[in-house]
Chains A and B, each alone.
Chain A
C-alpha cells in the first residue's frame, strides 16, 4: 500500500465521518458569506449578498425562475465565475486562497447531457481529472473500472467507446463518473438530468440517490424541475431574482409550510401530489404475487394464480429478475413456461418515488407495477391500493404530529441551515 500513501490525491475516505443515521459522509461543508456578483454595465447585481451553508454530506438543490442567479451562484463555488465580493469556503478553506485550476480539480463538476469530450473514449473522459492530478496509469485504470461499475455500465463493454456511440442516458452516466473520478468531497451539478427523456431521468435520479447514499458527498445541484428538487434534495434553496433566498429548507417543510407567496407559487398547486415524491416505493406494503420461473410447469403456475385470484403471473429468470408478466390465457396454451423477454416490461426501482410508481401503474395494462431491488431482482408488486393505504397512514401520522405541537420539525430545520442572510 506504499504507493497508495505516497501519491498526492485527496483521500477523503480517511476522514470520512458518520452522521446521525450512521450514513457515511465523505463531503465537507460549503459556506458562502455575503457573496456578490456584479457584471459590468448591469444596474442590478446578478447575485446580491448571498449567504448560506451547505452542510457536509447533504444534497442541496438550487431552484428558481430562469435568470435568478442560481447557476451563477453554483459557478462561483468552483470559481468558473469570480465573485465580485464576499467569501466562499469549502471545508473551511477559502477558495480564493488557491489557484483556480487546482481548486477545480478537487471539485466534481457534472453538466447537462454529460458534456463529454467527443474525441475521447469513455475511459479517457473519466480519466481527465486523474490525469491532471498525475495519477499513475494503474490507478487511473482501476478507478475508471470502479466508476463505470458504480454508474452501472459494464467496463469491458463501454470503456473504449466514443460518446456518440452511447445513448443520452449512458452519456450522462459517464458524465457523473467523470465528476466523481478524483473522489472529490464536493460535487457541483448543473441541471445534470435535463437532457434525457423522462423514463431515463427517473432511473438516473434513482441511481444518483443510491450512489449518494454510498458516498455521502456534499452535492450542490441546479435544477429547474421542482419535482426533481423534491426527490433528490436533502434541502431545497428557492431563489428569486438577484439570488435572493426565498426559502431554504427540507422538501417536507417547503411543501408543508411555504415561507411566502413566491414559494407557494413556485412549488405550485397540488402539493399533496408533490408529497408523493417524498415517499419511496420500499415504504409501501408490497402485494404477494404468483411467481414462476422460465421452464416451470405452466399448469401448476396457473393453478396457483387462480387460487390467489390473480389473472397473471410474474415470470423470473434464473437470477430472480422479472422478465415478463403474462396473462393466464397465455400460459394455459403452454406446457412449460416459455415467454419471451419483454423489453417493454417496465419495472420500478425500490427507491423510486410514489409519483413515479403511480406514473408506471397508470401506463401499465395490469394497473400495478413490479418492484425490483439492487441487482434488478424481484421484490414484489405494488398497486393503487397500496399507495392510497400509505397516504392514509401518512395523513393520520401528520394529524397526530400537529396535535402534538409539530415543534420537532421546526426545531430541526433551524438547527441546520439558515433561511435568510
Chain B
C-alpha cells in the first residue's frame, strides 16, 4: 500500500475517469436531479455513502465467496443483490432513527439501488485490485478509497451541472431546447471539457 497509489486513485476517479462525465455511468440521476443545487448535493452525499459502503461489502463478497469458488461470472448478479439489500437496510434504519432525513432523501435513496455508478465501482474494484482471483496487497483499502473518490467525482459533476442549470433558469433558452434538451447539451460540453484530463499520465 502506497500513498502515491492512493493519490493516483483520487485524481483518476475524481477527474480523469469521472464516473459521470468520462465513464457515462449514472446519467439518469445526473439529468433528473440537477435542476437545483441543494437536492443535487443531497443526492451526491447519498450516493457517496452508498458507493463507499457497497464497495466495502462487495469486496468481501468477491474475496471470500466468488474468487475462492471461481464463480467470478456471477459477479454482476450478486453485486446487484448486495447493493439492493444494503440500500433497503439503510432506508429502514434512516426511517426509524431519522424520519426528517428520510423525508429529505425521499425518492433518491431507492433510486440509488438501480444507479449503475454503484455497480460500476464494485465491478471496477474487482477488476483493478484482484489478479487471477487473488487480491493484490492493500486491495481492501484501495477498494474503499476508490469508492469514496468515485462518490466525490459524482459530487463534483453534480455541483457543476446544477450550478450551470441554476443560472440557465434566467437565460433566454430557445423554446425547442428548453428543459432536458439543454441539459443534455450542457452535459455533452462538460464531458468534452473533462476529456481534457485524459492526457494526464497517472
User: Does A associate with B in a complex?
Assistant: no
Binding site for A on B (CB under 8 A): none
